[in-house]
Amino acid sequence: MKLTPQRQLLFNLLHENDSHPTAESLFEIASKQMPGISLRTIYQTLGELAEMGELQLVDLGNGATRFDPNMGEHQHFVCDSCGAIHDVDITSAPRLRAGSADGFAVEEIGVVFHGRCNRCNLSNQGKLESQQIKRSPGLQAKKIKRVKSN
């Protein structure tokens, strides 16, 4: 593993950013500091960092994979109003244990919290939800009753 400027930059950007950025958004930020950097390199590097256990891939089913340098056990909260993603300390969340259910050998349980973040609660107090946040790449043209398993 060579220590290239691109890798240093990405590693830094990731660690000074708790917004769970997508590859694209990291690309935008990185491009400012290193014009010409390739989106392909972003994907490549993020994939490698993930393989090395330096970061987690988070797929909340809303279109693009997100990257989280927080490798500790934790869950995510997704604001359905603004789309923001926040880490949730597992200790403050109902802890679930692997076990067996219906004859399946459960090895891992994913939990995602959906709702409204503090900021949206305050700013949009009584208002109707104006924004329609992208929830899934497809089939979300209109507001659809959908499983929030993501």
- Chain contacts with DNA (rule: CB under 7 A): 1-7, 22-24, 34, 36-41, 43-45, 47, 63-65, 136-141
Which of 36/94 has CB closer to its own copies?
A: 94
CB 61 within 8 A of CB 136: yes
51 forms part of the interface with its own copies (CB under 8 A):
yes
Q: Is 39 helix (H, G, I), strand (E, B) or coil?
A: helix
CA atoms within 13 A on the CB side of 112: 15
Contact residue for its own copies among 28, 111, 123, 131 (CB under 8 A)? 111
Q: How far is the CB of 143 from its own copies (least distance, A)?
A: 8
Contact residue for its own copies among 33, 121, 123, 131 (CB under 8 A)? 121
11 forms part of the interface with its own copies (CB under 8 A):
no
Of the candidates 8, 12, 5, the residue with the CA atom closest to the CA atom of residue 69: 12
Which of 36/72 has CB closer to its own copies?
A: 72
Identify what 83 binds: its own copies, DNA, none; CB under 5 to 8 Å per kind.
Answer: none
Three-state helix/strand/coil letters over 78-90: EECCCCCEEEEEH
Which of 6/124 has CB closer to DNA?
A: 6
CB 133 within 8 A of CB 81: yes
Residue 68 token pair: 């989280």
Identify what 68 binds: DNA, its own copies, none; CB under 5 to 8 Å per kind.
Answer: its own copies
Which of 95/146 has CB closer to DNA?
A: 146
Pairing between strand 66-68 and 56-58?
antiparallel
